[in-house]
Structure 1
């Protein structure tokens, strides 16, 4: 299996994202580095904490950094994990059992998601716990990006 290169980040459930962003901004003394309608990320000193309003995140979700996400994903599936994907209603389902959320950035065969600067996947371990992996992808930011 591709070696885990370390802790990537942790994503916390935030049913009221605005209130959670306000609380973490006050706690950390800085606004999120990124924020969308259902996700916000705070970064600092090599650590990232994410907040999500996605309904399937009920507990903290730890992302492990891997060198090759396809290889790590395949090894986890071979070890008994089930590939998962976010579906259009925002819930999580086993790959192939429901319509994946639309977008060119989600591989419908694996559930691997391509995002700016990273690729990520969520799997369900044989014990029912979610396992998340991420691979950092170098990217060039546009000159007008902060």
Structure 2
């Protein structure tokens, strides 16, 4: 997610935030959460903790950078649970979320340029994906490798 935020170039942009009624905001990104082969019942505690921390961090520091969040390959039971949770969520938050059981349906929402795994005509995930490189900064803090960030932005 940090690489996505960096690729938006928010600190150096010259483009004003547009009127939201007249088109997309170039200062926002979309997220795709793929739950293929993810067990909701047997998640290790550290995975749950990391997910909660990431949500907390980005909600606190980047609240307006998300245009839409897509949850794909979500089991039907979990979709029902997410549906029930919507009652407790802000309307604006719910409008930014889309759940689907089959990842191949994603192209219907974001276009044919998405990866083949999602029903699109774009390069596959293995080919187009970016794995961030990390280097130690000291005292246990890892920072994203600048080469990985530059590669992703290209």
State the TM-score bracket (shorter-chain normalisation).
under 0.3
The structure with higher relative contact order (CA 8 Å, sep 6+) is 1
| The structure with more radius of gyration | 2
TM-score, structure 2 as length reference: 0.26
Per residue, is there more helix in 1 or in 2? 2
Per residue, is there more strand in 1 or in 2? 1
TM-score, structure 1 as length reference: 0.27
